[in-house]
Chain A
Amino acid sequence: MSDHKAHSEAAHVKIYMMVFGALMVLTIVTVLVSYLHLPPALGILIGLAIATTKASLVATFFMHLKWERRLIYGLLGLTVFFMIVLFAVPIVDNHGLKPNIIHYDQPAAEEAHH
């Protein structure tokens, strides 16, 4: 049994190293894309897609979700559902919020760099 366990562990280690490589490459890609200074909407879409891919790789393999049980999937499914609700509320209500929330004369950040 311990032999079997050690064997499957060695297989896992191989996967960990492949995920490591993928995460490094995706980090480089996301930084390089940012240097293109794409229009905000496109940039955000690409940046979010890469970040979500990286997070999924970490959760699936490093956090062992690929080999996890149903109870944990259910728990996480519920969490993700409410997280999306939380994100959706201000986006859906964006129209009502926009003119109201910030109208003091403080700029979002100084234009001066560093």
Chain B
Amino acid sequence: MEHAPVESTGIPNGKLGTWLFLASEVMLFATLFTSYIVLRVAAPSWPRGWDVLNVPLATLNTFILITSSVTIVMAHAKVLEKDKAGFRRYMFFTLLLSFGFLIVKSFEYASKFQHHHYPATSIFYAIYFTTTGLHGIHVIGGILFNAGLMIWGAGDGWEDPLFAGRVEYAGLYWHFVDIVWIFLFPALYLL
């Protein structure tokens, strides 16, 4: 028995749920940005990001994340075009880029630890590790969901009427993770 997405509000429930979830996520990250503003304004001194952090690596990660936003939106476009191979290709690239982001990030963290820079080192590093760490956890969450969709899509998921919607919601979440990075990057590294 096939069932179409439920949309008693004119919008599929899954999409409305995803947006409500993202609204709560916006507030979660907004509290951290507020903490950043308060701590920075109140701190006796604040380092310039380029003095203490690796700007080229973070720039590379920005390119990686933006590209992965494009590949996941293409994966969804391929689902709408009923192009199964295309979907798998773009979702695979998305996963590859997501791992690339984590690998670059772990190099950054490793270099900080090597120089004995930990969250407890200073207020700057506390906010740096808290915000980028929470963002990193979101990247890992996205990888799990996207990998799950790829596996489901390889099996009977492809024929499921809810499949296209779920790929779209995975994309919405992933773009949100991209947007968070778009603000974290200048806030920590460039300003």
Secondary structure type dominating chain A contacts:
helix
Is B38 a contact partner of A31 (Cβ separation < 8 A)? Answer: no
Is A102 a contact partner of B43 (Cβ separation < 8 A)? Answer: yes
Q: What's the least CB distance linking A113 to chain B, in Å? A: 6
Number of A-B contacts (CB under 8 A): 167
State A64–B69 Cα separation when bound (angstroms): 13
Interface string of B38-50 (1 = CB under 8 A from A): 1111111111111
Q: Which of A9, A34, A54 contacts B182 (CB 8 A)?
A: A54
Query: Interface size (A, Cβ < 8 Å)?
Result: 62
State A94–B44 Cα separation when bound (angstroms): 14
Is B41 a contact partner of A90 (Cβ separation < 8 A)? Answer: yes
Is A106 a contact partner of B122 (Cβ separation < 8 A)? Answer: yes
Is A94 a contact partner of B41 (Cβ separation < 8 A)? Answer: yes
Q: What's the least CB distance linking B182 to chain A, in Å? A: 5
Given A34-B55, A108-B45, A109-B46, residue A55 in contact with residue B182 (CB < 8 A)? yes
Is B124 a contact partner of A34 (Cβ separation < 8 A)? Answer: no
Is A108 a contact partner of B38 (Cβ separation < 8 A)? Answer: no
State A34–B56 Cα separation when bound (angstroms): 12
Interface-forming stretch among B9-17, B140-148, B152-160? B9-17
B137 at the interface (CB under 8 A from A): no
State A54–B175 Cα separation when bound (angstroms): 11
A1 at the interface (CB under 8 A from B): no
The chain A residues found within 8 Å of chain B, CB to CB, are: 2, 5-6, 9, 12-13, 16-17, 19-20, 23-24, 27, 30-31, 33-35, 37, 40, 43-44, 47-48, 50-51, 54-55, 58-59, 62-64, 69, 71-72, 75-76, 78-80, 82-83, 86-87, 89-91, 94, 97-98, 100-102, 106-111, 113-114
